[in-house]
Chain A
Amino acid sequence: MPFTAHDLRYRAEQSYPLLYAYLHRNAQRFLGALKYDAFEVDTVIGHVVEQLVRLGILGGEDRTPLTALDNLSDAQFYAFLSHSVRNKAIDRLRKRRLQVSSTAELEGSDDSEADNNPITDAVESLWGTTPFSTPEEITLRISSQLELRNVLKHCILALNAAPNQLQAVMQELHEFGADDFILLLAEELHFSFDSERNPHISQHKDHAHKKLRLCLQRQSSHLTVAVALRITMYTVKHPTEKNRYEVPIQMLAQDDFSVQDVQKALYALVDEGLIDWHGEQKVQLSSDQLKRLSRFYKEE
């Protein structure tokens, strides 16, 4: 093999000429009638090169984390590169609104290959059956999966500190007809709609949306919600005290979180007033606190 993913990562200067040559051959093959347009060929190659740099594959050395791409076999990696070129070539062909008169025009020297007619294939399905292929599909999945919906609830809960923004968001949810969801939140937040409409509601809504966007994409939000859910799952009755429950931090961490991560999440839950905890090795809760967590995060 002339170069590998490992070569690109650790010996970028030496392997780039070989990468370029490989991408160039594929770009010419997939660009069909545009294969002699140097700008189009460069555009396709440049797209893939930039992608590799962004992913840390090209020149990332040990300073950029390894990804699943680094673990592909050489043959798989070449297939990955070839398909990346193909996708961009199709994109360019579409943008140039190329009038293709015949299939042969698109075919290169090795016309026996199944993916050698990119346009025809692309018309059928460019992406195939790709999960999360649209934002609509993603948001439907998020809202229909308890663990992900919990993050949404958690972030709306955090708006409690800004009552006008909370009003704006709840009003908006109401307008969308998400009344079941409002009921669930209202109980936890002791929320009721204002009798008069706030004249600055649009502004409050914008601020609330911004906060929600940040909160939803933050790792710490997901950690906090995951730990809250684990508390509801793994807490057991205190051996001696009545109406008290407890769970060791280590049990909350399991195999995928560090103890430090769990501690951060616990402090967040303390800030939200959901638990009392002062750094002990076990988290202790009253039965009321456990019921509240369960109601909110398990939707019981």
Chain B
Amino acid sequence: MNDETILGGSSELRGNYQTLGLWLQQILQRPEPSITETATADNDGEAQLELTLAGNYHLSFYQQLPDFIMALLNNDLQAPLTYAPLLFHLAACRECHSAYLDLYSSMHAAVYPIATRPLLGQGTRTLSATPHRMLSHLSQSLISQAEAILLQARHEHMENDAAARSLLQLALRVSAHITQSTLRREALKDLVRVATLFEQASTSYQSASSEHSYTPVLATSGNTRRGAVVRRADSSVHAHTVDNAVIRLQAQSLEGNIVQRGEILELQLHNLEESLRGSFVIISVFLGSLLEPVRWSGGNPGAIMSVVPVDENGTLITPLGTTDLRLTQPEERNLLEATFMLLNIHKHV
């Protein structure tokens, strides 16, 4: 390594480097929006905890930070060279540089500890007993991370679907422990959008023009009594009572249900229009491939063929698949409900 700053070059040289450094700083530092700050508490106390890094995040550089910092802490003189692209990036990116400072401070404290004793304790043992607003935040973080991974993979013309899928599945499982429907909706608000980034999804699901897109009417679970208050998946206030063992679906004025008969998940749609009557339909469960415990009819949740045509009254009752999950179990029901966050149907031709 040839570092004139460390090894002591002439003052004239140092002056030149400073000039060059100033110029370099100017070209690297483009005007950027300030770091997205976590939401501040509103007066009404309704503030949601927002993600800090969501849109200003450079995955490949960020994940190199711990190794770079450890090399610096080990006084590895080659570190600036080994991590040269990261070093240039840190000069250019305010968010990643801020994260670097934060991590450096914490890793320094870990490697060179002052005498402290960790505040250990038993804590809570289950996700259900953990504050649900923090489960919602965790789900959002996982979904956002999955998005970053997919965007990075796309940028580098690589495939990293497995890593992103695993995070989305974890987000789904975590969100299933949230009993309050509004929090659960908040937790999964970006799920469908991020799932569209999967190459498979963008080709097979979006190519078919759907006649109807159904979304679930989110139910508040967590109690065993029947007849919980529900709200529609969008923000409209639409409360009525439902049976907890049923997932209610809506597509504008159309309604439907998913019920369970033994292991079979059955789709029931009503008042379908004239053009669909007498025809078979193709059903696509957009997030179906994320949920492994469901064995979808035909094997592809993106194209489930109805076993019967729509009858003369516009009703369709057809199986979607089988599962060991139970709609009567609140957490399992939440998991299934999230999976049916977007269900499209179109006429089979």
Contacts and interface: CB of A to CB of B under 8 A. Distances in A.
B130 A140 contact: no
A127 B138 contact: no
A205 to B, nearest CB: 9
B91 A139 contact: yes
A42 interface: yes
Contacts of B122: 2, 21
Interface residues of B, number: 100
Contact of A176 (B14, B19, B41): B19
B249 interface: no
Chain A CB within 10 A, most for which of B29, B45, B114, B134: B134
Given A172-B23, A173-B23, A148 B116 contact: no
A17 B127 contact: yes
Contacts of A113: 114-117
Given A25-B121, A54-B62, A131-B72, A82 B116 contact: yes
Given A132-B100, A212-B27, A148 B87 contact: yes
B27 A209 contact: yes
Given A16-B127, A130-B104, A141-B80, A22 B119 contact: yes
A94 interface: no
B132 to A, nearest CB: 11
Interface stretch (B163-171, B184-192, B195-203): B163-171
Interface string A56-82: 100111011101110010011111111
Contacts of B1: 145, 147
B70 interface: yes
Number of chain A interface residues as a range: 35 or more
Contacts of A45: 134
Interface stretch (B50-58, B270-278, B306-314): B50-58
Nearest to B58: A217
Interface in B95-138: 97, 99-111, 113-127, 129-131, 133-134, 137-138
Most chain B beta-carbon contacts within 10 A, residue among A136, A140, A172: A140
A146 B1 CA distance: 8
Interface in A3-48: 12-13, 16-18, 20-22, 24-26, 29, 37, 39-40, 42-43, 45-47
Interface string A125-137: 0111011110110
A267 B18 CA distance: 33
A126 B105 contact: yes
Contacts of A209: 27, 30
B345 to A, nearest CB: 33
Contacts of B204: none
B33 interface: no
A110 B105 CA distance: 22
Contacts of A145: 1-5, 80-81
Contacts of B211: none
Contacts of A176: 19-20, 22-23
B70 to A, nearest CB: 4
Nearest to B171: A59
B336 interface: no
Contacts of B81: 145, 147-148, 226
Contact of B138 (A49, A55, A141): A49
Interface of B: 1-5, 9, 13-14, 16-25, 27-30, 38, 41, 45, 47, 49, 51-53, 57, 59, 61-63, 65-67, 69-70, 72, 80-81, 84-85, 87-92, 97, 99-111, 113-127, 129-131, 133-134, 137-138, 141-142, 144-145, 148, 160, 162-163, 166-167, 170, 173-174
17 contacts: A17-B126, A18-B125, A42-B49, A49-B141, A54-B62, A59-B166, A60-B163, A63-B166, A75-B118, A79-B109, A83-B109, A87-B102, A136-B21, A139-B22, A145-B2, A176-B22, A177-B19
Question: Shortest 6 CB-CB distances between A and B: which pairs?
Answer: A21-B123, A68-B70, A63-B163, A83-B109, A143-B20, A80-B110
Given A68-B66, A136-B22, 20 more contacts: A13-B127, A20-B131, A20-B134, A22-B118, A24-B123, A26-B119, A46-B137, A49-B134, A55-B63, A59-B170, A61-B166, A67-B67, A83-B110, A133-B101, A135-B25, A139-B22, A148-B80, A148-B87, A149-B20, A217-B89
